Amino acid sequence: MFTGSLVALVTPMDTKGNVDHVSLKKLVEYHIANGTSGIVSVGTTGESATLDHHEHIDVIKRTIDYADGRIAIIAGTGANATKEAIELTSRVENIGVVGCLTVAPYYNKPTQEGMYQHFKAIAESTALPQILYNVPGRTSSDIKPETVGRLAKIKNIVALKDATGDLSRVYPTRKLVGPDFKLLSGDDSTFLDFMILGGDGVISVTANVAAKAVATVCQLVVNNQIKEARSLNDTLMTLHHNLFIEPNPTPAKWACARLGLMQSATIRLPLVSLSTSSIPAVEQALKEANLL
């Protein structure tokens, strides 16, 4: 289920900062039409940090409604307080998501045992499949491969999104978790090599604007057409990099608006709109990816 190109979907907003439901529906249709395997709704790229709980759940529900069973929807339900993460998870239990993406606790910097107990408590509170999300650059906490291995023994913890960009982790993690546990890259620049080394797919920011290309790269790897996959991914490398030229999802939202996938690039404070000096770099990346 959790394989191939999964998009870390942006949450579109109108010029007043309210969620733009018309554009959200348009984005869902875009991903269905272009071969995306699944949508992660209200993860980091979906601005989970600045949506209140009502908005958070409403965006997920609307994404499910717009998808209408045509594409898998994964809910971002992580929090740095275990109780809050359990509450968010409980609110998506029976609305049609296929699983939850749960980020490592941020700011409070738990030990490995603390993280183990955190994810264990969440998993035991629900029947939904759980994807662990390791992104030390944002959280200041790192789920070590050994901890992932322990957590993989819990029945409904089924996958890891690894956004470290550290390819040396793929083999030891695979050895610890076994063949059925899914390993997903969370780093667009290295996802191709991550898959070649034994990963199962990617949760991608780049797929917001290059859905068909990212999905095709994933399928080419599955087909063992590595040369073709690398050739296509080479056209995306500048995009992989420049979509992070400023804090995510600022460049991705600008790019989505530039391509007409949503009406506005509005983003909530404390993030601000893409700076004038960065616009040419993102536009050039879109051109190199044959999107403009």
| 69 backbone φψ class: left, alpha, beta (φ>0; ψ -120 to 50) | left
Rounded to whole angstroms, the Cα distance separating 287 from 292 reads 5
106 is catalytic: no
Please list the helix, strand and coil fractions of the chain in percent, rounded to the nearest 5, in that order.
45, 15, 40
Catalytic residue of the set 61, 161, 182, 253: 161
Token couple for 155: 């029945």
Rounded to whole angstroms, the Cα distance separating 121 from 126 reads 9
3-state SS assignment for residue 188: helix
CA dihedral over 187, 193, 194, 196, signed as positive or negative: positive
Is 36 annotated as ligand-binding?
no
Q: Write down the residue that tokens 């998506």 correspond to.
A: 92
Token couple for 281: 């770099």
Return phi, psi of residue 159, to 5°.
-160, 165
Nearest of 21, 17, 59, 27 to residue 42 by alpha carbon: 59
Catalytic residue of the set 116, 133, 182, 253: 133
C-alpha to C-alpha distances, 252 to 8, 60, 197, nearest whole angstrom:
10, 19, 27
Is 266 annotated as ligand-binding?
no
Token couple for 33: 């039409």
226-234 and 211-222 helices, crossing angle to 10°: 160
133 is catalytic: yes
Radius of gyration of the chain (CA): 18
Q: Supply the residues annotated as catalytic.
A: 133, 161
Q: Which residues are annotated as a binding site?
A: 45, 203
Residues contributing to the annotated binding site for pyruvate: 45, 203
